[in-house]
Structure 1
């Protein structure tokens, strides 16, 4: 059962100091001035008198009045949300919905949204693709497409595993920007290198972006990198060994995700934090756009 605020049964470490109510492994001598729960330096929110915990700031401690303290923030400066996996859940739902629609409507639906630079479609009797027909939307729609059940299963499993911690650390908006920019960057590198008539689809570019971001985040928090690096290494081996995998999307997403995450978690504090964070994401996106423009000029 959950302990009531101020309950004497609090996590203790070996030195006698209580552990933070959100991070039990962190000893702390700081307590919320409203509910008296122990809070670590990452959780405490400055108030007019002392510090408050994120829960009390968010709810106003049940007084019905607006809280006097500033809103709690994530590691990257995003707003702390009650459901730290909301965007992750929505992304999984969108991918699943598109997959089901693809099964219902058949190959024609999938082919119209798959990333392809240029090819002649015998069914339509006309050319299709980004360069051939200016179908730029394929660079993004392909990120939400999956042709096989195993493909979407493993991608969504990784999205759930990586997305939750990243969304909690970055905040909803920053996490969504990371995911989309990584996906587009993966599509851009595929568009640049792959054969013009070679189709590509899947969320793998965005997922590898989350891999890169997780490594940056864990290094920033000084966590043990060996588990995540080992998992990434296994996936990269599969990428380059298994046939039919667009390694370009994986590499492009991985690099983009790491760059965007670095800009977000290492941005200076204060009023420049948000401009620097979204500026870093914009620069990565701009690089992807330049790659797309260069490839399009070469093909046309």
Structure 2
């Protein structure tokens, strides 16, 4: 149910920002306190406003923006969540979200404000690619979707390419950890219940390390920028 819960949270946050601003345009949302206090700008992180690494992933600039992202989340989520399980799916989503924010904090301009669930959604695209490869299915369609979206990220003004790439990278790595670490941990041993539990715990430790690493990069990167 994580997919539907995430869609609901995004929709509620959008409705609150819309109501506060009184309009659905980007400039109208500047009048929304929730929007202003939740977008991600590297300069804000210097002032220790670290919650923006998370909250920016639940903001959207327009009705079209949230519609495209939520349709993508619905399509990917309803395919991936049953395969991965709700807990692992949610972990991969959050790791992708923070991975996108980390890339913005590290590479985007200090005064560049970003918002949207796109980083997390790109992470789900990476997760789909890992699953397809693990199943030894042809990856061409998934690669084509990722490539098309990256071309759009480059060609359309105002889209955060670094945020998308960060989400894609961390989502891919988190899915690799979820699916391949247990196999590596068990090796050729007889798969007993205790061994499966230890292997699963190993995967969760790696995923937690990736999530923690993304958060850490987001926190320290603005502090390391040359002034």
Query: Is 1:288 equivalent to 2:214 in the alignment?
Result: yes
- Aligned match of 1:222 in 130, 136, 143? 136
Show structure 1 runs of 5+ residues with no match. Answer: 1-85, 119-128
- Give TM-score, length-normalised by structure 2: 0.85
Kindly provide the CA deviation profile for residues 134-154 of structure 1, in whole angstroms up to 9, marking residues without a partner as x: 111000000000011111111
| Aligned 8 A contact 2:45 2:219 in 1 | no
Show structure 2 runs of 5+ residues with no match. Answer: 22-29, 187-195
- Aligned match of 1:194 in 105, 108, 124? 108
Deviation at 1:274, TM superposition (A): 1.9
- Aligned match of 1:116 in 41, 44, 53? 41
Q: Kindly tell me the number of residue pairs found equivalent between the two proteins.
A: 204
**CA RMSD after TM alignment:** 1.4
Q: SS at the partner of 1:264?
A: helix
Q: SS at the partner of 1:113?
A: coil
Query: Is 1:277 equivalent to 2:199 in the alignment?
Result: no
Distance 2:206 2:159 in 1: 29
Identify the structure with the greater helix proportion. Answer: 2
Residues 129-208 of structure 1: pairs in structure 2 closer than 5 A:
129-132=44-47, 134-208=48-122
Deviation at 1:161, TM superposition (A): 0.9
Distance 1:157 1:228 in 2: 17
State the match for 1:12 in structure 2.
none
State the match for 1:87 in structure 2.
2
Kindly provide the CA deviation profile for residues 164-185 of structure 1, in whole angstroms up to 9, marking residues without a partner as x: 1211111111110110110011
Deviation at 1:294, TM superposition (A): 3.4
Q: SS at the partner of 2:114?
A: coil
- Aligned match of 1:259 in 173, 188, 209? 173
